[in-house]
Amino acid sequence: MVYKNLFFDLDDTLWAFSVNAQSTFFEMYQKHRYGRFFPSFEHFYQLYQQRNHQLWIDYAAGKVTKDELNRQRFVYPLLVVGVPQAEAIAKDFATDFFQVIHTKSEVIPHAHEVLAELATRYNLYILSNGFHELQRHKMRSAGLDIYFKDVILSDDIGILKPDARLFHHALKVANATIADSLMIGDSWESDVVGASSVGMHQVYFSPKADASSLPFPPTYFITDLRQLLEVL
């Protein structure tokens, strides 16, 4: 298949969200003296991740707003351990968190070398469910912005992957067709299932997944970004 347009997810596909987020949370945990409330950072972060995961599912389904997602995920750990004035404390923590997270610059291994090569042969786009006030800043901090022709965010139109409407919107923005486009991402549901639902080919990037356990074969399965240069 001859592709012209490559659509990349951002978080944990190119920008190392898991690493950068945990680093920022640890900084905020120390700055806001959360050791007063939790026996360890690990305990706090586990509670946060537990609630955050479900809230993102609810957000994608339209069950909670963006503001409510952000409020609930930061206050939840404090409520679990019974902290007085949890709402105010969580709000201060979240404000500082969002001022720092987008300055982090860790990327997935080999992201720069792979993108530098692909950018000479394809039109590259970001297609992300991330928040518009963060994603472009994150890309600039990590030096990823130079490779991409445009950044297409669910937050800008109120529709999230895997909704087919977001993929059709992305194709329109890029003046691309399904046949000449490829979606690359680390989320099975958002990136692979979403792209497949509109007939777009997909690359499932997962360093830890077992290909034999996937619900259906993606167009391509890779565990290292350098493998993109082998399949494209």
For the entire predicted model, the pTM comes to: 0.95
Name beta bridge partners: 205.
222
Residue type, 51: R
Q: Say how far apart CA 99 and CA 8 lie, in whole Å.
A: 25
Is residue 1 over pLDDT 80? no
DSSP single-letter state for residue 2: -
DSSP classification of residue 182: E
The strands making up 181-185's β-sheet, listed across from edge to edge, are 150-153, 123-128, 5-8, 181-185, 201-205, 220-222
Architecture label for domain 5-16+107-231: 3-Layer(aba) Sandwich (3.40)
Helix/strand/coil (H, E, C) string of 20-57?
A: HHHHHHHHHHHHCCHHHCCCCHHHHHHHHHHHHHHHHH
pLDDT at 212: 86
What residues form DSSP beta bridges with 182?
6, 201
**Does the fold of domain 17-103 match that of domain 5-16+107-231?**
no
Tell me the percentage of the chain whose pLDDT exceeds 90.
94
Q: How far apart are CA 71 and CA 25, in angstroms?
A: 15
Taking each helix axis from N to C end, the angle separating 66-80 and 86-100, rounded to the nearest 10 degrees, works out to 120
May I ask the CATH class of domain 17-103? mainly alpha
Extents of the domains making up the chain: 5-16+107-231, 17-103
**pLDDT single digits (tens) 180-205:** 999 999 999 999 999 999 999 999 99
CA pair distance 155, 82, nearest whole angstrom: 33
pLDDT digits (tens, 9 = 90+) for 64-91: 999 999 999 999 999 999 999 999 999 9
Strands 123-128 and 201-205: unpaired
φ and ψ at residue 177, rounded to 5 degrees: -120, 160
